[in-house]
Amino acid sequence: MTDTIIVVGASEGGVEAIRSIAAALPAEVPAAIFVVLHIGAYRSQLTALLNLSGPLPASHARDNRPIGPGHIYVAPARTGPARLSICCSAAPPSSLSH
Q: Where are the domains of the chain?
A: 5-95
The answer to whether residue 40 scores a pLDDT higher than 70 is: no
**In angstroms, how far is the first alpha carbon of the chain from the final one?**
19
Instruction: Give the mean pLDDT of 11-18.
Output: 88
The CA distance from 32 to 69, in Å, is 4
Tell me, what's the pLDDT at 83?
A: 61
Interval 53-84: pLDDT, tens: 999 999 998 877 888 999 999 988 765 555 65
Enter the pTM of the model. 0.79
The CA distance from 27 to 35, in Å, is 17
Q: Which residue has better confidence, 20 or 65?
A: 20
Superfamily covering domain 5-95: Methylesterase CheB, C-terminal domain (3.40.50.180)
